[in-house]
């Protein structure tokens, strides 16, 4: 497939070729190439930053690209027994199956043998203080999605650790986020990481009377402000990135997800072989009666 030219002023006339005509027999998940969100992510694969991650992950290079590759080596094997349940939940909300790769970016849930009860306790991988479970819900968001929060003093179980309950909550949340940011699905991914309020603020900067103050960074170029205002309601993630409005954490988060969901949905085709071992289904913790 010849991808559309990336939305990047530095890419010249170069075209990126990605060999993928649709789902193959070795696919990890039952993904739908015709799903509009999947198609939107497919168009992003030609972006230089995403290509850098894809190439580096396949080669297992040093640094972040290679780290994505090593995560995928573990994830695609250990998530397999649980993937059908997770993707079924996502599809019932009209979401693409590839959303399961958010759990790879968010936590070490499937990368650590034995499936730890609390991924927030794994050194160096907790995304946010107080976040917990495979989808790394913070307490306030979890409560708003109907999950019970654990209490060590009373022994109250934490439903964020229950893969099925947490996946249902995440699916509902993402359904709302995609509806809130229909112009670009990557904005919904960014909102899951940074919070809806921060994405809305970034989008509103173009309407602010003082863009410099709104953005919170030194902006003195008249051309910069003119470009910001000219975008009107069509601003997308790449626009925010070009305008230096996106935080480095959110930039890396979104780009890692887009690369990982592409590589992982067809793991063998992309150089991530199944290891032949039998892994357990994620344990049921905090079951609802």
Residue span of the structural domain in which 134 resides: 36-265
Q: Tell me, yes or no, whether 5 lies in a domain.
A: no
The predicted-structure confidence for 64-123, as pLDDT tens digits, reads as follows 999 999 999 999 999 999 999 999 999 999 999 999 999 999 987 887 666 654 444 433
Domain total of the chain: 1
**pLDDT higher at 223 or 44:** 44
**pLDDT higher at 243 or 286:** 286
Q: Tell me, yes or no, whether 83 lies in a domain.
A: yes
Cα 264 from Cα 256, distance rounded (Å): 12
Q: Tell me, yes or no, whether 8 lies in a domain.
A: no
Q: Tell me, yes or no, whether 28 lies in a domain.
A: no
The predicted-structure confidence for 134-150, as pLDDT tens digits, reads as follows 999 999 999 999 999 98
Q: Tell me, yes or no, whether 153 lies in a domain.
A: yes
Q: Tell me, yes or no, whether 19 lies in a domain.
A: no
Q: Residue 196 has what pLDDT?
A: 86
Cα 228 from Cα 231, distance rounded (Å): 6
**HSE value, Cβ hemisphere, 13 Å, CA-based, for 256:** 24
pLDDT band at 56, cuts 50/70/90? very high
* pLDDT at residue 255 is higher than 60: yes
Contact criterion met (CB below 8 Å) for 33 and 64:
no
Cα 205 from Cα 39, distance rounded (Å): 28
Mean pLDDT score of the chain? 81
- CATH at 102: 1.10.530.10
The predicted-structure confidence for 137-195, as pLDDT tens digits, reads as follows 999 999 999 999 988 777 788 999 899 999 999 999 999 999 989 989 999 999 999 98
Q: Tell me, yes or no, whether 283 lies in a domain.
A: no
* 246 contacts: CB under 8 Å, gap ≥ 6: 190, 202, 237, 240
What predicted TM-score, i.e. pTM, was given to this entire model?
A: 0.82
Q: Tell me, yes or no, whether 30 lies in a domain.
A: no
Vertex 270: Cα angle to 111 and 30 (nearest 5)? 75
With a pLDDT cut of 70, the percent of the chain lying above it is: 75
* 286 contacts: CB under 8 Å, gap ≥ 6: 148, 150, 157, 158, 159, 161, 162, 165
């Amino acid at each position: 497939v010849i991808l559309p030219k990336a939305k990047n002023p530095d890419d010249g006339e170069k075209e990126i070729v990605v060999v993928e005509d649709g789902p193959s027999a070795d696919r990890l998940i039952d993904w739908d190439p015709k799903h509009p969100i999947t198609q939107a992510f497919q168009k992003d694969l030609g972006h230089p930053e995403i290509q850098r991650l894809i190439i580096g992950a396949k080669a297992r290079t040093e640094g972040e690209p290679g780290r994505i590759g090593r995560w995928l080596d573990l994830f695609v094997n250990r998530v397999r027994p649980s993937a059908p349940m997770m993707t079924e939940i996502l599809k019932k909300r009209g979401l693409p199956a590839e959303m399961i790769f958010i759990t790879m970016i968010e936590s070490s849930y499937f990368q650590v043998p034995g499936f730890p009860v609390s991924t927030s306790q794994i050194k160096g991988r907790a995304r946010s203080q107080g976040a917990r479970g495979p989808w790394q819900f913070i307490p306030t968001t979890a409560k708003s999605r109907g999950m019970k929060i654990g209490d060590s003093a009373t022994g109250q179980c934490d439903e964020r650790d229950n893969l099925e309950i947490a996946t249902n909550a995440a699916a509902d949340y993402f359904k709302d986020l995609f509806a809130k940011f229909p112009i670009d699905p990557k904005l919904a991914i960014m909102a899951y990481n940074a919070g809806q309020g921060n994405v809305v603020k970034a989008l509103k900067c173009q309407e602010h009377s003082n863009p410099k103050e709104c953005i919170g960074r030194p902006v003195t170029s008249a051309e910069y402000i003119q470009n910001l205002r000219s975008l009107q309601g069509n601003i997308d993630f790449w626009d925010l990135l070009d305008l230096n409005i996106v935080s480095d954490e959110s930039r890396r988060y979104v780009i890692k997800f887009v690369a990982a969901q592409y590589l992982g949905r067809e793991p063998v085709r992309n150089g991530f072989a199944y290891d032949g071992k039998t892994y357990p289904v994620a344990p049921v913790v905090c079951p609802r009666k």
